[in-house]
Amino acid sequence: MFGLGLPEILVILVILFLLFGAKRLPEIGEGLGKTMREIRKIRGEKKSGREKDQKDQTGDLLVDLKKGVEQIPGLKEAKEIKEVAGKVKNLTKFLK
């Protein structure tokens, strides 16, 4: 845990005990626990929000790309020629 061994942790706990007393230590621990939970919750929300934004941006980009590709002049004709060439290639294989 942060490079601290058992003796160091015990010294820190004794100092905290002397500074705050036995009654305040559970309250401090509870406050630290709540803080850690909130930090994890916020970190998780940010992470899921970032992932969602990336997915939305990727989806939008793909839609824009498809629209742009559809507008390329001669693309439809090139696809038809490619299909015909594939059929001719299959026929020549069959005839050999």
What would the two tokens of residue 34 be? 């709540």
Number of Cβ atoms within 10 Å of the Cβ of 92: 9
> C-alpha 51: how far from its chain's center?
4
Residue pair 12/19 in contact by the 8 Å Cβ criterion:
no
pTM of the model: 0.39
pLDDT in tens, 18-53: 888 888 888 888 888 888 888 888 888 877 766 666
The Cα 77–Cα 59 span in angstroms is: 27
SS3 helix, strand, coil % of the chain, rounded to 5?
85, 0, 15
pLDDT in tens, 44-96: 887 776 666 666 666 677 777 777 777 777 777 777 788 888 888 887 776 76
